[in-house]
Amino acid sequence: MTDAIPPASGYKRIAAEEAFFPAEVERAYRDLLDAGTSNDPGFISAMGYFLNSPSERASDVRRRLLDLGEGRIADMDATGIDRQIIALTSPGVQVFGRDLAVGLAALSNDQLADAVRRHPDRFSGMIAIAPQDPAAAAKEIERGTKLGLKGIIVNSHTLGEYLDNPRCAAIFEAAEACDQPLYIHPNTPSPQMIAPFLEAGLEGALFGFGVETALHALRVIVSGAFDRYPRLRMVLGHLGEALPFWMYRLDFIHGGTVRSKRYDFMKPLDKPISGYLRENIWITTSGMAWAPAVRFTQEVLGLDRVLYAMDYPYQYVAEEVRWMDDLPLSPEDKKRFYQTNAEGVFNL
């Protein structure tokens, strides 16, 4: 870490994709790994590394994930971050059986809500849910909203299942009714698709995360979910998991496929795919502090759709804040990027 980043002038820096886990969730991960009963090779690879590796990187991430107090605030101060929007780290509770997942989601939300109450000027928090039980997840969205949490974290696939499954409709209904955005955060590819990633060491943040999460978002879009729930909002990190760079081809190929009636289940949508990316989806910069890519995404989606995130503690790099400070934006647009876009989509 270099010299501390000074506070911003004229706006606040809000980091919108920052992770934690309670000690109880860490213990449940360890128990699942030790039992050898997980059928998810991605979970075994990712959490096996972060929980068991003696490396400095893994040790630092573990320590910071558990901290919802002064250590986290000190790290924020060192990088000039005024507020974190905190969420249960991937894979959340989505690798567990139903009952354990429902209970740990509620426990995580209680602990995060308590941290927000203790540090209301520094922390906001997202609602963790267990999509294993969509009805319980819908109730937890309602409860989490009453606790004052902002947004819903879904760590992509749940035991290989995606939110476009019709049985997950209750989650969309609750998100829309409670005016809460769904943050679709990466997970390692599902057991059905992970093999060629895993054998090359590409299953995690290096590549597999983005591929898997982009797939999830596209499945939701082409299922017609945003036509059925037009007020539904989604947030994607890592500059939209590369989807903004694919918009022309997505529109071209999807439109031709629908017109050809290639798949009986693929029905016409009210908008092209790019329309949902521009109107229902917001994008954060988590892990992608690269000015050319940020500027491109702002250009094709609009300055009001792109907001800052650090991806703490997995990426905790002061220089990245300096690079984003140097974006060629007006003071008004810099405030949108760092502050008001997040305040708007998360109802802060």
Is the residue at 346 inside a domain?
A: no
Range of the domain at 296: 14-341
Is the residue at 40 inside a domain?
A: yes
Q: What is the predicted pLDDT for the residue at 1?
A: 52
Q: What is the predicted pLDDT for the residue at 305?
A: 98
Is the residue at 2 inside a domain?
A: no
Strands 234-236 and 182-184: parallel
> Residues of the chain with pLDDT > 70: what percent?
99
Closest to 195 (Cα-Cα) out of 36, 48, 40? 40
Instruction: Specify the DSSP element, H or E, that contains 20.
Output: strand 14-20
Is the residue at 87 inside a domain?
A: yes
Is the residue at 9 inside a domain?
A: no
The pLDDT confidence band at residue 186, using thresholds 50, 70 and 90, is: very high
For residue 246, pLDDT over 60 is answered with yes
Predicted TM-score (pTM) of this structure = 0.97
Give the three-class secondary structure for 93.
coil
For residue 324, pLDDT over 60 is answered with yes
Mean pLDDT confidence for 67-78? 98
**Are the beta carbons of 88 and 21 closer than 8 angstroms?**
yes
Whichever domain contains 155, its CATH number is: 3.20.20.140
For residue 3, pLDDT over 80 is answered with no
Please state the domain count of the chain. Answer: 1
For residue 10, pLDDT over 80 is answered with yes
Q: What is the predicted pLDDT for the residue at 2?
A: 58
pLDDT one-digit tens code per residue, 272-295: 999 999 999 999 999 999 999 999
**Are the beta carbons of 186 and 217 closer than 8 angstroms?**
no
pLDDT one-digit tens code per residue, 109-160: 999 999 999 999 999 999 999 999 999 999 999 999 999 999 999 999 999 9
pLDDT one-digit tens code per residue, 49-58: 999 999 999 9
Is the residue at 4 inside a domain?
A: no
Q: CA–CA separation, 44 vs 50, rounded Å? A: 10
DSSP type of residue 161: B
